[in-house]
A and B are shown apart, each in its own frame.
Chain A
Amino acid sequence: KAGVTQTPRYLIKTRGQQVTLSCSPISGHRSVSWYQQTPGQGLQFLFEYFSETQRNKGNFPGRFSGRQFSNSRSEMNVSTLELGDSALYLCASRPGGNTEAFFGQGTRLTVV
Chain B
Amino acid sequence: ILNVEQSPQSLHVQEGDSTNFTCSFPSSNFYALHWYRWETAKSPEALFVMTLNGDEKKKGRISATLNTKEGYSYLYIKGSQPEDSATYLCAFTPPTDKLIFGTGTRLQVFP
Task: Tell me whether A103 and B44 are in contact (CB under 8 A).
Answer: yes
Kindly state whether residue A70 has any CB partner on chain B within 8 Å. Answer: no
Interface of B is mostly: loop
Task: Tell me whether A99 and B49 are in contact (CB under 8 A).
Answer: yes
How close is A6's CB to chain B, nearest CB, in angstroms?
9
What residues on B are CB-neighbors of A74 within 8 Å? none
Task: Tell me whether A41 and B103 are in contact (CB under 8 A).
Answer: yes
What residues on A are CB-neighbors of B34 within 8 Å? 100-101
Task: Tell me whether B43 and A100 are in contact (CB under 8 A).
Answer: no
B:18-52 near A, CB below 8 Å: 31-32, 34, 36, 42-46, 49, 51
Number of A residues near B (Cβ < 8 Å) is 26
Number of B residues near A (Cβ < 8 Å) is 24
A:78-112 near B, CB below 8 Å: 90, 92, 97-106
Task: Tell me whether B46 and A42 are in contact (CB under 8 A).
Answer: no
Kindly state whether residue A48 has any CB partner on chain B within 8 Å. Answer: yes
How close is A46's CB to chain B, nearest CB, in angstroms?
10
Contact mask for chain A residues 17-59; partner B; CB cutoff 8 A; 1 contact, 0 none: 0000000000000000101000011111100100000011010
Interface residues of A (CB under 8 A from B): 3-4, 33, 35, 40-45, 48, 55-56, 58, 90, 92, 97-106
